[in-house]
Chains A and B, each alone.
Chain A
Amino acid sequence: MSGETHCGHCAHHHELEVSGVTVRYRGHVALEDAGFATSCGNCVALVGPNGAGKSTLLKAIAGLVPRSAGTIRWRGTGVRRWHREFSYLPQREEVDWSFPVTVRGLVEMGRYSQLGWWRRWRAVDDEQVERAMEVMNLGGLEKRQISELSGGQQQRAFIARAIASEAHVLLLDEPFTGLDRPAQDNLSGLLRRLAGEGRLVIASHHDLNTVPALFDEVLILNRRTVAFGTVAEAFKPAALEAAYRARPA
């Protein structure tokens, strides 16, 4: 699936190129010279041992952590910090679930980046919010507070927020963690659908057994890129052994 893929709904070739990305936290190297290139329409798994830099890479692409070195190019243009077409979905433990926001309120937040600080809420914003909730099967849950949802529903609500923001690249941090099998299958189907519509889905993932069923491409990471390619090409025992045997530097 990698290579010359065209976006399903805008008929353009959208490529994401990540090269030489290095991230340092207080002198500690979390990610060094990591890179890969993929395009819209794909579901990409980021796998690697704990501390391999999976979340850091997602956050670096999303612009949540500064890069010490490296470039990120989207549709041929360099991305310095944040790009409106990127949306990051945090790990469960990073979310304040007690925050008084309903599913609808959360999805509406997706429109804030389009609206800016001052612009008034418009009919088109309502339409985008309702469409995003429909795509993510959130009907009937609009008024629920986010902590009153199941794990799968919570993931879907955050993905709906990304869709409402008209994001093209979804950066998901461990979206399948804590989900039971039916919820995992349901979320997987929805992510496939989003990729089929031309979005690029990149998700960190720790369950190696489910990688072939859930993803098209895989990036095996241990601070650096160990292997990258389609699941058939790159998801090999030798590469996994190299990544998981080596302690994070």
Chain B
Amino acid sequence: MPAWIHDLLSVPSLARSLLAALIIGFTNGCFSAYVVLRRGALVAGSLSHALLPGIVLGVMVAGKLTGWSSFLGALFAALIVVLASLAVSRVSRLDQGTSLGVIFTVAFAAGLILFNYIPGEVKSQVKLEDYLFGDLLMLDASDVWVAFGVGMVTLGLCTALQRTFLVTLFEPSVAAAQGVPVRAVQYLIMTLLVLVMVSALRAVGCMLSLGLVVAPGATVFLLTNSTRAMFWWGGVLGAVCAAGGMVIAHVTNLTAGAAITALLGAVFLLALVFSPKSGLLFRRGRERAAAR
């Protein structure tokens, strides 16, 4: 039996980390379908930066870094940034992407400044790298419960409202005319995005959480014509890469977040080149077939 399997079976903290990786990878992977369909990667990238001041605030209020303190703090900061960017784009000539570009860098800078004001005794327990890059191998039970709760809420709502989400993402004006509260649905999708990103925070950090919530959906998008397949296979890919990355990190002593993101990137690259539907390798063959 390889040593890493033995470790997983015998070390409870490792088994817990693997469980968290599977839950977080699956939830983020499923939801990434909607991020890709909404063309929301830029917004997600902005949010990932905005999470830092929230986590720092959470630590300052709670007095320690736990799953719940980082979750609530990051949730608060992300919602403030999203609402602020919407407000700026409504009252000025700027679009939401531009206003997000300004606001998320300011939020990130605010996080770095706030970090200096964390009381010494708390600061000694955590490092800036813990916020930025996370540590999947150091998760506690509250992190797993946060991930589980967010996963249940997100997957439940996405499954129950699948038709509404799809119509809104495909043709928002037609959806609105059919009585779908499009703005409320878009806010709901944004709120779920914040939730899934925050649930991945302690595992992979705010900088790499973007990869988990974009790469699986983007990869499956290159392979399928079905939104349902994008959703579920995105989840499978996210879970497999998160668990695989964690094992690689354990065996090689790499940072788990980096190993997971690199693995997702490698699979994305394979799909980009070899996808029968849209891969670069088969492009000429497809063009010839279309011309016939």
Complex Cα–Cα for A100 and B231 (A): 11
**Interface 9-mer from A22-30, A113-121, A223-231:** A113-121
Contact A64 B174 (CB under 8 A): yes
Chain A residue at minimal CB-CB distance from B227: A100
| B166 lies within 8 A of A109 (CB) | yes
The answer to the question of A75 belonging to the interface, with a C-beta cut-off of 8 Å to chain B, is: no
The size of the chain B interface, using a CB distance under 8 A, is 24
Q: Check A82/B178 contact, CB under 8 A, given A99-B37, A99-B170, A100-B230.
A: yes
Cα of A115 to Cα of B180 in the assembled complex, Å: 13
| A143: B residues at CB distance < 8 A | 225
Kindly name the residue among A90, A105, A144 whose own CB sees the greatest number of chain B CB atoms within 10 A.
A105
Interface pair A63/B177, CB less than 8 Å apart: yes
Binary contact readout B225-247 vs A (1 if CB under 8 angstroms, 0 otherwise):
11101100000000000000000
- Are the CB atoms of A88 and B177 closer together than 8 Å? yes
Chain A residues closer than 8 Å to B160, beta-carbon distance: 117-118
Size category of the A interface is 20 to 34
- Known contacts: A90-B171, A112-B167, A117-B163. The answer to whether A101 contacts B225 by CB under 8 A is yes
Whether, in the assembled complex, B179 has its beta carbon less than 8 Å from a beta carbon of chain A, the answer is yes
B177 near A81 (CB under 8 angstroms)?
A: yes
Q: Is A62 an interface residue (CB 8 A)?
A: yes
Residues of chain A lying within 8 A (CB to CB) of residue B229: 100
Residue contact A82 to B179, C-beta cutoff 8 Å? yes
Would you give the shortest CB distance from B168 to chain A, in whole angstroms? 11
Q: Which of B163, B179, B221 contacts A100 (CB 8 A)?
A: B221
Q: Most chain-B CB neighbours within 10 Å: which of A59, A88, A95, A113?
A: A113
User: How far apart are the CA atoms of A117 and B161 in the complex, in Å?
Assistant: 7
CA distance A67 to B161 in the complex (A): 30
Residues of chain A contacted by B105 (CB below 8 angstroms):
none
Contacting A82 at CB < 8 Å: which of B161, B170, B171, B177?
B177
Known interface pairs A117-B161, A117-B163, A118-B160; A102-B225 also in contact (CB < 8 Å) = yes
Top 9 nearest A-B pairs (CB, nearest first) are A145-B225, A63-B177, A82-B177, A64-B177, A112-B163, A64-B173, A113-B178, A100-B225, A102-B225
Sample of 12 more A-B contacts, CB < 8 Å, known A64-B173, A81-B179, A145-B225: A63-B177, A99-B227, A100-B221, A100-B227, A100-B229, A100-B230, A101-B166, A101-B226, A101-B227, A105-B226, A109-B163, A112-B178
